[in-house]
Structure 1
C-alpha cells in the first residue's frame, strides 16, 4: 500500500488520458516524467517520502507495495517520478563521512534510489560513483552543475564548472565509465545511469548549456535537466523557458525542464511550450508536498487538484515531524521541521504569535501542543486560502554577481593553477 497516507490528496485521478509519455533513463522507466529537485537541507528521506506518497496517491489504478517494482519488460519502475537526495560531495563520500553516508541512505519505500553528487575532481567523482554502485546505494546518479551558491561557485564548482570544457568533459567521462565498471564488478542486474542538472550558464555573456549538452551526450550521460536561469540570476526574476526549448531542439538525449513550476498546470504548460521530456520541481513544493499529486494528476490527464484546509495541513506537519524524528532523532528532526512549518502555513491566517511559537518547538509533544493551541484560537473551519498559498515560494532574492575563482572567465579551459585548486574546492564543502 502507499504509506503513509497522504492527507488531503485527491485520490485516483479518474477518467483521463495521459498527456505526457513515460520517460526512459537507461534501465529506469519514469512513468510520470516528474522529478523532485535536490535541495540542500530539504530533500532528506522524510521529505522525499512525503512527496512520493502524494505523487503515487494520484496515480490511476491500484496502489503498489512499498519498495522497488519492475515493468513487464524488466525496467526499474518509477511510476510517480524520481525523488532525489540532497547534494552530497564526492570527496566526503569517498572519505566515508558519516553525515554524507546518512544523506544517501534511502527511504525503505523508495522505488528508485536517486543520489545527486557534487564534485570538481574527475578521479574523486569516479571513486564516489563506484562506491554508490558497488555498495548498492543508488539506482540513478545525478551530477550537480547548477548550484549557484557562492561557497560552491567561488571554487569553480556547481554552475561555474561547465565553463571549463575540459574539466566538464573529464568528469562526465569518468563518472559514466566508473558506473559501468562498478556495475560489472558488483554484478548488478541493471546499469546505473548518470544524469546532469545544470543552468543556462554563468551569466548572459557566458552561456554554457548547449556545449555542456553536447559533451554530456558524447560521454554517455542518460538525460539532462536544465534550470532556465543563469548562476547570476540565482532564483530571481522569471525562468526563461525558451532556453529549455532550445536545448530540447539541440539535444540528442532526453531533456527535463526546471524553473517556476508552482502548479500542475505549470508542468503541463512547460512541457507543451518547450517540448521537454519531463519537469523538475524545486521550491514549488516547499511546504506543499501535495504538489506532486497535482502534477501526477495533470500529466495523467486529470483535473483533480489538492486543496487542503488547515486541518489537513496540520496533519501533514505532524506526519512530517514523526518521519523526521524517526530518521534523525527527535531533537534534530524537530529542529529540521521548523523551516518547513513556515512554508506549510504560508497563506493560512494563523497569526504571528503562533508562527513564532512553532518556530521554537523542540519535541514532538511540544509540536502537538503548539499546533493544538493554534487551532483552538481559530474558527471551526479554515479553508484552503487559494492564491495566497500558490505561486512563487522561498527566497527569490535579486541577481548576484557570481563568485568565481580568479581569472575563471579568461579561458574556457583550466590553467595549471586552477587545476591545482581543485582539491581545495572539494574540501571547502566536504561533509554534505
Structure 2
C-alpha cells in the first residue's frame, strides 16, 4: 500500500467509516463533502495505518519519512507502520516516535513480499530467523511501553509452503508483549495470487490465545469481512487492496459489524465528488503543489473508475491530470449520471501477480538463527535503505 495509504487517503477512509457508525444520518453520509463534518470522540470506526516507513530513514529524519508519519488534521489515532531488519535501528525508530509523541499505535510490518525488501532479509521472510524476529519485537515493545503506546505485528504465513513461520511467530510476538498479531493468509511466494488461506487465520487464532488475532486477505466487501470473522473466529480484520479507489468500503464495514444492512452503492457522480476531494487533500498534503499532488493521485484513477462506463481515452486522460482545472474538465466530460455498476466495481483491485520464488539473502534458509556474517549484512542493509 506504499503511495496509497498516505494522510489524504486515510482521511477519506476514516470519514467514510465514521459515516457507517450507528446514529449517523444517511443524508449526511451520502455526501463526500459532508463526510468531513462527521466526527467521533474516539475511534470506533477503526484504525488507519500509515504507509510503511523504514526505520533507518526515520531515525535519520529523511524528509520523506517525516512526511509519511505526519498525520491528517483530524487523525484521532496516529498509527505508524515500521519496517526494519536491525533490532537496534527499529528500537531507535520506536523511541523517536514515542518520546516525540508522534504515534498512538505502532505496527511492525513482517508481511511485505516485494523482492527489494525480502532480499535484505526483511518483510515476510524475516520471521524465519527466530532470534532476529524476537529481538526486533521485544526491543520495539519495550520502547513503545515507555510511552504507553501499543505495538502490534503484521505478518504472512511464511516464505513458502516449505518454510511456514506464522504459528511460531504468533506465539513469539505474544510472548514479547505485542498488543495483537495480524495475519495476511498467504506466503511470500504466493505474493497476492490465488485465494487467501483463511483456514490459517483460524489455526493462528487457536494457537495464540492471550492477545487478539486479526485476519487479512481477500476482503473485498463487508460480507467478506463478516464471513472471515465467522469462519475463523478472528477478533477483527485488516483491509488493504480492497479499499483502493473505494474509501466508502469502510462505511460498509463499520455498518456491517454494527449489525446494519446499510451499504454504499455509489453512482459515478458520487465517485467523481470523492475523487475531487481526494485531489484537494493531496494538494494540501503536497504543501500546495498542484502538480505533485495530482501526479500522486494518478495511480488511484483506475481503481476509482473500475466497473463504470468510461472510455479508454477518458481513462487515459484522467491518468495524466496535472491540475485541478484539468481534473474538473475531464470529470465534467463523463456521463456522471451512471448508477452503481454492481459486481463490476467490486472484487480484485490492482495486480494480483503470480507465485514466484522469494528473493532472500544468501544462506538465509540454511538455519533458523542469525550468525555473525548475516548480522553484519543485515546492519549494512538497514544502512542502505532510504526513503520511506
- TM-score when normalising by structure 2: 0.94
Q: For structure 2, list consecutive stretches of 5 or more residues without a partner in the other structure.
A: 26-35
The answer for the alignment partner of 1:356 in structure 2 is 316
Q: Which structure shows the higher helix fraction?
A: 2
Q: How far is the alpha carbon of 1:427 from its aligned partner? A: 3.3
The answer for the alignment partner of 1:81 in structure 2 is 46
**Structure 1 residues 1-400: aligned runs within 5 Å:** 39-61=1-23, 69=41, 77-181=42-146, 183=147, 191-251=148-208, 252-328=210-286, 329-373=289-333, 375=334, 378=335, 381-400=337-356
Query: What is the SS of the residue equivalent to 2:161?
Result: coil
Deviation string 1:361-407 (CA, Å, 9 cap, x unpaired) is: 1111111111112x2xx3x7311110111111110011011000001
Moved over 6 A (4+): 63-68
RMSD: 1.4
- TM-score when normalising by structure 1: 0.85
Q: How far is the alpha carbon of 1:180 from its aligned partner? A: 2.1
Q: Does structure 2 retain, via aligned residues, the 8 Å contact 1:152–1:429? A: no
In structure 2, what is the Cα distance between the partners aligned to 1:180 and 1:247?
25
Q: How far is the alpha carbon of 1:167 from its aligned partner? A: 0.2
Q: For structure 1, list consecutive stretches of 5 or more residues without a partner in the other structure.
A: 1-38, 70-76, 184-190
Q: Does structure 2 retain, via aligned residues, the 8 Å contact 1:68–1:109? A: no
Q: How far is the alpha carbon of 1:194 from its aligned partner? A: 0.4
Q: How far is the alpha carbon of 1:428 from its aligned partner? A: 3.9
The answer for the alignment partner of 1:431 in structure 2 is 387
Distance 1:424 1:68, change over 3 A: farther
Distance 1:94 1:67, change over 3 A: farther
Q: How far is the alpha carbon of 1:359 from its aligned partner? A: 1.1
Query: What is the SS of the residue equivalent to 1:335?
Result: helix
